[in-house]
Structure 1
Amino acid sequence: MTSSHAHDEQLLDINGVTLCAQTFGDPAAPALLLIGGAEASMDWWDDEFCSRLANGGRHVVRYDTRDTGRSTTYAPGSPTYGRDALLADAVGLLDALGVSAAHVVGVSMGGDIAQRLAVRHPERVTSLTLMATSPGGTDLPPMSQELAEKFAAGGDEAPDWADREAVIAYYTDGEHTFAGTIPVDEEWVRRVAGKAWDRSPSLASAQNHWLLDDGESVSDRLAEITAPTLVLHGTADPLLPYGHGEALSWAIPEARLVPLQGMGHGMPPSEVWDTAISEILAVSEAGR
């Protein structure tokens, strides 16, 4: 069910592409921009999660990045843009919505985009929350052995993207692959994956995110970040172990590191929402 706090989806022309965005809460409240991870349409930012942030006095914005949801898609296997274009899209989205600066929350790949936003466009970032992401570098803990072996074996086989149930099963398996010790809520995953399938004319195009060029890294410039910063990281992340969150918090001046107990890699499960939401609201209050 769509939250009563949610406004209608908007299709916005930005940087020569169309981006689909949706907002929650009072448009006069401080804006809070949610940037999703690789392959993830905005559906993976749960309605209730967004509503609870809006109840905290924020105007929450979630959106489909290129190649997801109702935003512009490219032929599977043939993206003609890179990660820096996703950064430009985030800035362009703020412009299109008339937002001069926002509290920015990024997860996984979205956390990388958020880092770039805070470094290259510091005037647009009022506070920064980085979740399940990494500063990059060679001296960080490797992924779990189990995950490395699965990747070496080829990972999960891609489904028939025209088969809704097969796609839902594929994403459900993926959630188990990247889960921590908190049990996977399969009912929630099935609901969100089904909604993403329903909204996406080319769901296979989301795989293009794994093919993007990295663009200009900001790993060596994180000390330039001046926005109040929160690092949320799962203690059981198999892809980017907790040491990545620690390294990120050390690299950014005065960043606050908060462990999310038992969380793996991906969107925060409902079991950690109380912590995640209260911490996001607190850091955004510090940035006002």
Structure 2
Amino acid sequence: MNTTDGKYVPSGDLRLWTERFGDPDDPAVLLVMGTSAPGAGWPDELVETLVSGGRQVIRFDHRDTGRSTCLDFATHPYTLADMAADAVAVLDGFGVTSAHVVGASLGGAIGQWLAVHRPELVPTLTVIMSGPMGHSAGPAWARALTGQEPDPDDLPPPAPTFLRHLAQLAGKPPTTREEHIAASLATWRTLNGDALPFDEQAARRFVEAAYDQADRPASAANHDLAARQMTEDRLVPLSSIKAPTLVLHGSEDPLRPPPHGRAVAAQIPGAHLRTVPGMGHGFFSPGLPRRIAELILEHTTSRTGR
């Protein structure tokens, strides 16, 4: 796949690696990846399908991932709002005044933040495998990890299969490159679930590139620290979102079970929920990237006429 424009853009003191595909005169789609993942987490097939559908597509490496600046979180802590400001800086770097925002997982929360606080930038919003930006998952995780029953008034914790996987990783943390690659591959396999085939070759290419391109691969874990900070700006009701919103959620998501997606859709006026059969928490299944891209094209076309 040919990159129309690949470059660094500034976000404050940081440098963010960005890529733009397609015709710059076409409506823009900004792809915002999830926790600890660089922009290439958006598969080329998904990007190509959007470009073929008449979109210019922008994806970027979050701070602490890929070719973008890595930070010491202890001395330079940041929040979801700071990561949202990075996304705005990416648009500014390409002279784009608004873009259909598509966010996956943590990127979905960033998309919600933009739709709430910078609505002029977001003609449509697509939230994929995410939860409400104002919901703290900490209590549900704590109950699950200590063997307590879930709180019926809270959103559910991750599936036991994923929690067991995390426990195995904690018992033997990776130290070498090969161990890190193997651990990341096992994580994506677990997140994919068993309902759809797992494209191991595509996942391996991604995790190897993500590890090798980062100055400090361990810095990607800083996203978890940022996501846990439930700042006041995250507590603004999602009912204030005016952008037409599509919520895509996998029926077999082991990290954020389907009630998380339903909660997002319930809180945003007029949001449309589409459950993707068999999908887990990721795009590493043959044909799935194209299917997701087609749903994004359908949403952005039906809501804007382009």
TM-score by length of 1: 0.91
Q: Deviation at 1:29?
A: 0.6
Q: Closer, same or farther in 2 for the Cα pair 1:157/1:124, shift >3 Å?
A: farther
Is it true that 1:192 corresponds to 2:189 in the alignment?
no
Is it true that 1:272 corresponds to 2:285 in the alignment?
no
1:12 aligns with 9
Q: Deviation at 1:149?
A: 4.3
1:216 aligns with 232
Contact 2:81/2:233 (<8 A) preserved = no
Is it true that 1:174 corresponds to 2:187 in the alignment?
yes
SS of the residue corresponding to residue 165 of structure 1 reads: helix
| 1:66 maps to which of 59, 63, 66 | 63
What amino acid is aligned across from residue 66 of structure 1 in structure 2?
R
What amino acid is aligned across from residue 225 of structure 2 in structure 1?
L
What amino acid is aligned across from residue 63 of structure 1 in structure 2?
F
2:160 aligns with 145
1:93 aligns with 90
1:111 aligns with 108
Q: Closer, same or farther in 2 for the Cα pair 1:229/1:187, shift >3 Å?
A: same
Q: Closer, same or farther in 2 for the Cα pair 1:200/1:248, shift >3 Å?
A: same
Q: Deviation at 1:77?
A: 6.5
Q: Closer, same or farther in 2 for the Cα pair 1:43/1:77, shift >3 Å?
A: farther
Contact 1:79/1:211 (<8 A) preserved = no
CA distance in 2: counterparts of 1:95 and 1:287, whole angstroms: 24
Decide which moves more: 14-23 or 178-187: 178-187
2:221 aligns with 207
Decide which moves more: 227-236 or 140-149: 140-149
SS of the residue corresponding to residue 270 of structure 1 reads: coil
1:261 aligns with 277
Contact 1:77/1:205 (<8 A) preserved = no
Decide which moves more: 181-190 or 35-44: 181-190
Q: Closer, same or farther in 2 for the Cα pair 1:220/1:82, shift >3 Å?
A: closer
Contact 2:91/2:97 (<8 A) preserved = yes
Tell me the percent identity: 39
Contact 2:165/2:187 (<8 A) preserved = no
CA distance in 2: counterparts of 1:169 and 1:154, whole angstroms: 11
Contact 1:77/1:208 (<8 A) preserved = no
CA distance in 2: counterparts of 1:156 and 1:62, whole angstroms: 34
Q: Deviation at 1:8?
A: 4.1
Contact 2:200/2:284 (<8 A) preserved = no
Unaligned runs of 5+ in 2: 137-152
CA distance in 1: counterparts of 2:166 and 2:182, whole angstroms: 18
Q: Deviation at 1:155?
A: 4.2
CA distance in 2: counterparts of 1:172 and 1:78, whole angstroms: 31
Contact 1:235/1:241 (<8 A) preserved = yes
SS of the residue corresponding to residue 126 of structure 1 reads: coil
Q: Closer, same or farther in 2 for the Cα pair 1:267/1:156, shift >3 Å?
A: farther
In angstroms, what is the RMSD of aligned CA positions? 2.0
SS of the residue corresponding to residue 105 of structure 1 reads: strand
| 2:40 maps to which of 43, 54, 57 | 43
